């Protein structure tokens, strides 16, 4: 049996040369090895437009992100909704055509909402917002959107640190609103997302609940919601960087339910220092996803301090090497 590095090297050569019997023969592999190579396919790799922006204040148009994704050799693009300049249909169709002309899938839409509120009117506002976001995804031909539970909102800014900076220093942990319980929060979230499911089904858009602070901080919290709703239109968007503790166990919990992987990289050091404590073992995560027969997209979310023009291509290579699956 050939070792993994040798196999990956051969696969790369097959892709770049167009595969042919003379090439295979010159490498001196036996027929069993060649058949195994033919049965391997790499997961498609996309890049989030967030990777080129990171909430840095500067304008980073979606069109620029699509251009860079095509230049670097990605298969698709995940759009960050709040980064888009408009939600009008003519703009959406322009973006869709731009991606199509660039040979890229629009494979995900990353959205924000919050159902963690004791105010039923606020929850209803976020339900309607999420339904609208589902319809945007449908207009763009995007098959899945990232959704959140929302947060308690009890974290406050400290000095020159923003509320979110303080939340990241606290590794996403915040206190429950006084007078309420976590169980009440879960009920709000479950009831709210359940009301979005008919719209998701009508539009053919899978909701991917991310492990992303709030009641989605842990795999247990995410699965409590997913299991309670029990719909094929609600799955998991698995973020590889959002578990600070018991990482392997929590990744295993979510792997069988994953519809999209958001893969963090931190070249140049993490934008938020707390993430420098995390060691993301992508070969191990790739193996875990193969064990769960995951064949879907990996979406890069670069969140480091290095220039994206050098860090994003390095990240793509890391993910290409780590994520592949067996066809048989």
Does one domain contain both 13 and 60? no
Does one domain contain both 34 and 152? no
Q: Give me the DSSP letters along 36-52.
A: HHHTEEEPPEEEEGGGG
Does one domain contain both 30 and 71? no
Does one domain contain both 128 and 175? yes
Domain count of the chain? 2
Does one domain contain both 137 and 2? no
Does one domain contain both 183 and 289? yes
Does one domain contain both 10 and 57? no
For 111, phi then psi, to 5°, come to -120, 170
Does one domain contain both 127 and 220? yes
| pLDDT score at 31 | 61
What radius of gyration, in Å, describes the C-alpha atoms of the chain? Answer: 21
Mean pLDDT for 85-111 is 98
272 within 8 A of 245, measured Cβ to Cβ? no
Average pLDDT, the chain: 90
Does one domain contain both 34 and 54? no
* C-alpha span between 305 and 270 (Å, rounded): 6
Answer yes or no: is pLDDT of 62 > 80: yes
Band (38; pLDDT cuts 50, 70, 90): confident
Q: Give the tens place of pLDDT for each residue, 118-150.
A: 999 999 999 999 999 999 999 999 999 999 999
Does one domain contain both 25 and 46? no
| pLDDT score at 59 | 79
Mean pLDDT for 100-115 is 98
Locus of tokens 């999420």: 130
Query: At how many degrees (to 10) do helices 247-254 and 219-229 cross?
Result: 10
Does one domain contain both 173 and 142? yes
Percent of the chain having pLDDT more than 90? 81
Does one domain contain both 13 and 114? no
Domain that holds residue 226: 41-326
114 within 8 A of 214, measured Cβ to Cβ? yes
* C-alpha span between 199 and 261 (Å, rounded): 23
Mean pLDDT for 101-112 is 98
What CATH number is associated with residue 124? 3.20.20.150
DSSP 18: T
- Count CB neighbours of 307 within 10 A: 10
């Amino acid at each position: 049996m050939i070792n993994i590095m040798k196999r990956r090297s051969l696969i790369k050569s097959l892709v770049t040369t167009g595969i042919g019997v003379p090439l295979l023969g010159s490498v001196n592999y036996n027929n069993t090895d060649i058949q195994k190579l033919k049965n391997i396919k790499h997961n498609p790799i996309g890049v989030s437009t967030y990777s080129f922006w990171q909430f840095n204040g500067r304008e980073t148009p979606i069109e620029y992100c699509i251009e860079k994704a095509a230049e670097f050799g990605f298969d698709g693009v995940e759009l960050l909704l709040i980064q888009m300049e408009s939600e009008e249909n003519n703009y959406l169709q322009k973006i869709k055509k731009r991606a199509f002309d660039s040979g890229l899938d629009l494979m995900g839409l990353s959205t924000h909402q919050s159902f963690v509120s004791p105010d039923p009117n606020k929850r209803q506002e976020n339900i309607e917002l999420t339904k609208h976001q589902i319809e945007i995804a449908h207009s763009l031909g995007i098959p899945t959107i990232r959704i959140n539970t929302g947060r308690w909102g009890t974290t406050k800014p400290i000095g020159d640190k923003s509320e979110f900076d303080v939340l990241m220093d606290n590794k996403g942990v915040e206190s429950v609103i006084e007078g309420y319980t976590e169980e009440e929060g879960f009920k709000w979230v479950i009831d709210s997302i359940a009301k979005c499911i008919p719209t998701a089904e009508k539009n053919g858009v899978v909701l991917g609940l991310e492990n992303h602070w709030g009641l989605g901080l842990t795999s247990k919290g995410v699965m409590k919601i997913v299991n309670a709703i029990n719909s094929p239109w609600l799955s998991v968007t698995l973020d590889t960087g959002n578990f600070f503790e018991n990482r392997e166990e929590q990744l295993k919990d979510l792997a069988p339910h994953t519809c999209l992987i958001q893969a963090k990289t931190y070249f140049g050091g993490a934008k938020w220092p707390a993430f420098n404590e995390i060691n993301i073992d992508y070969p191990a995560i790739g193996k875990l996803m193969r064990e769960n027969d995951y064949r879907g997209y990996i979406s890069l979310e670069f969140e480091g301090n290095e220039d994206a023009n050098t860090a994003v291509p390095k990240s793509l290579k890391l993910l290409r090497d780590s994520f592949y699956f067996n066809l048989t």
